[in-house]
Structure 1
């Protein structure tokens, strides 16, 4: 679904990510881990078209997309949920969802499907999104992204700063999405969850790959060693 080959990207003339190879297969989760400043968010932003590629290739569903703008990548089937529980704070939760669903075929059904996925949102539809808790806003942000019916969901720290009971709900939803046929590129600090959800992992350190492999037996130790935890 997604393939990065020798990807170098950054801001202006300053490269942040250096020569990264990475793959997300169809219907699987790939987790990207590393300490703050390792280049994880820059990598995701390059994939979705918000950071320019300096060298290397990004392929989505077999097509090189280095030159495609972000809106065309979204139309091709990408959805990006950035770090920080972002939403339209002055709109209600329901308006946030309808804003994405309006104009889509079966838009009401798409909204209802996400309310079934995140049932806590049903009682919050008339509340201003800016007044929701961090966990509620994160569920809202993921629900909005899923209304676009993506083939690749890109998540940046979806459980950061979230109360523990909501973390479990978000983690469960991501695992279910992967089982349901959606590809996911996930940046996550919680190693246990990331390696439980993922089929493969990449650890970045100073913008370079420090470790990479399948998220099976021994993966936690490899990740800890690469991150020097």
Structure 2
């Protein structure tokens, strides 16, 4: 679904990513792990088109989208959930969702499906997003992205600062969404257990370079931890 080849990108004169290559399988999950400052969020921003790469290519389902703007990539089926449980705090949970739903032909049906995935949001639909817990805001952010019916979902640190019970719910939701094969996920994470529970393939970033990668087999967790300990 997603192929990134030799991607080099950064900010101003500072290069953050150095020739990064990875693939996300159709209907599957690829996890990118690494410490803070490794370039994980920069990778997602470049994949979506929020950051123009210096070199390299990005292909979505075989189409070269490297030169396309972010909104054009979204129209082709990409959706992005940034780090930090972002929402419009003064609007209710329902209003946050309707902002996206009203821009899509079947947005209300997609909104109902998203609420089915996260029942707590239905219960708290009338509460301002700023009064939700961190875990509830994260669920809201994912639900908002899913209303666009993406083919590829980019998730940036979805478990950061989230209570364990909600982490388990988000993990199960990712597994359920990809089980049917209609959605692919590029998951950026620091928590090895969560990432490898969901992903078929992993990549470890260190200082903007892939230092370890492979299929998620029986020895993946040990290899990832070894790579992260360097």
User: Is contact 1:34–1:227 with CA below 8 Å preserved after alignment?
Assistant: yes
Deviation at 1:216, TM superposition (A): 1.0
Q: Distance in 2 between matches of 1:36 and 1:193?
A: 17
Q: Given the two structures, how large is their TM-score scaled by the length of structure 2?
A: 0.97
RMSD after superposition: 0.9
Deviation at 1:196, TM superposition (A): 1.5
- Give the match for residue 208 of structure 1: 209
- Give the match for residue 227 of structure 1: 228
Q: Distance in 2 between matches of 1:84 and 1:139?
A: 11
SS in 2 for 1:202: strand
Deviation at 1:57, TM superposition (A): 0.8
Compare 131-140 and 95-104 and name the one that shifted more.
95-104
Unpaired segments of 5 or more residues in structure 2?
none
Deviation at 1:67, TM superposition (A): 1.1
Size of the aligned set, in residue pairs, is: 229
Q: Counterparts in 2 of 1:49-198, with a 5 A limit?
A: 49-181=49-181, 182-198=183-199
User: Is contact 1:9–1:46 with CA below 8 Å preserved after alignment?
Assistant: yes
Unpaired segments of 5 or more residues in structure 1?
none
Per-residue CA deviations over 1:153-194 (Å, capped at 9, x if unaligned) read 000000110111111111110111111221000001111121
Deviation at 1:202, TM superposition (A): 0.3
Q: Given the two structures, how large is their TM-score scaled by the length of structure 1?
A: 0.98
- Give the match for residue 37 of structure 2: 37
Deviation at 1:106, TM superposition (A): 2.5
Q: Distance in 2 between matches of 1:53 and 1:20?
A: 11
Q: Distance in 2 between matches of 1:118 and 1:209?
A: 34
Q: Distance in 2 between matches of 1:107 and 1:146?
A: 10
Deviation at 1:105, TM superposition (A): 2.2
Deviation at 1:55, TM superposition (A): 0.5
User: Is contact 1:11–1:52 with CA below 8 Å preserved after alignment?
Assistant: no
Deviation at 1:88, TM superposition (A): 1.0
Q: Distance in 2 between matches of 1:13 and 1:75?
A: 31
Deviation at 1:148, TM superposition (A): 0.1
SS in 1 for 2:57: strand
Per-residue CA deviations over 1:22-66 (Å, capped at 9, x if unaligned) read 000110100000000000000000001111100011111111111
